[in-house]
């Protein structure tokens, strides 16, 4: 029995530890002012293959690979909504709020809706964010602005999940800047 316990503990000690990640960029501190334009970032739509806790990579363009040890620390639809709202809040003329399943949206002027199509790294070292977003006023479902976004960065080392999250965060920030420029001021 002693050797079985030693074998079990030996295997457990060799198992890689799980790492948990959130999207985001270092933020400049800014005071939130009252008034101004208020934006609500709705729950983000993600394809079923991304609606998991594991980070995703693509092999050969068709094989989805889920990391066993690299996981999102929050549901991806909520994490992207939070990261976009955080990025929009860096604009001095905006106050942005994110979707939260436990709270109704605050009073706001504009809604941002995002549908993610791709959000992953691949075995060639490219990281891709492909999405569609639209901006509407709170009293109309007709888009006042919309865009399809395809952002790619090269130079990611497959297996470097912290690097993958940094690249994806940069792409979310870039998409957020596009959204901010479309919001009437």
Pairing state between β 37-41 and 94-98: parallel
Place of tokens 């912290």: 162
Q: What is the mean pLDDT of residues 89-107?
A: 91
The domain of 140 spans 2-182
Q: What's the pLDDT score for residue 28?
A: 61
Mean pLDDT of 158-176: 97
pLDDT at 98: 95
Q: Which residues contact 183 (CB under 8 A, 6 or more apart)?
A: 37, 39, 94, 110, 135, 145
With beta carbons less than 8 A apart as the criterion, state whether 56 and 49 touch.
yes
DSSP 179: H
Domains of the chain: total: 1
- Buried/exposed 148-166: b ≥16 CB within 10 Å, e otherwise: ebebebeebebeebebbbb
Encode pLDDT of 72-92 as tens digits: 999 999 999 999 999 999 988
Packing angle, helices 76-88 and 161-182, rounded to 10: 50
CATH number at residue 22: 3.40.50.10610
Q: What is the pLDDT of residue 13?
A: 57
Please, which pLDDT band fits residue 5 given cuts at 50, 70 and 90?
A: very low
Asked if the model's pLDDT at residue 23 lies above 70, the reply is: yes
**How far, in Å, are 95, 130, 141, 150 from residue 114 at the CA level?**
18, 10, 14, 13
pLDDT tens by residue, 41-55: 999 999 999 999 999
- pLDDT at position 35: 61
């Amino acid at each position: 029995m002693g050797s079985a316990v030693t074998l079990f503990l030996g295997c457990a000690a060799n198992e890689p530890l799980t790492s948990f990640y959130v999207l985001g960029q270092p933020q400049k501190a800014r005071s939130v002012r009252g008034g101004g334009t208020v934006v609500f970032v709705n729950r983000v739509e993600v394809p079923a293959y991304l609606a998991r806790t594991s980070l995703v990579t693509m092999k050969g363009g068709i094989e989805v690979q889920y990391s066993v040890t690299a996981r999102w620390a929050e549901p991806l639809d909520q994490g992207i909504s939070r990261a976009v709202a955080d990025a929009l809040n860096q604009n001095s003329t905006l106050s942005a709020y994110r979707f939260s399943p436990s709270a109704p949206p605050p009073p706001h002027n504009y809604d941002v809706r995002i549908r993610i199509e791709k959000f992953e790294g691949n075995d060639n070292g490219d990281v891709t964010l492909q999405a569609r977003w639209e901006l509407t006023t709170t009293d109309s479902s007709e888009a006042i602005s919309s865009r399809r976004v395809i952002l790619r960065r090269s130079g990611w080392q497959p297996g470097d999940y912290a690097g993958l999250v940094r690249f994806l965060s940069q792409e979310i920030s870039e998409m957020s800047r596009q959204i901010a420029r479309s919001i009437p001021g």
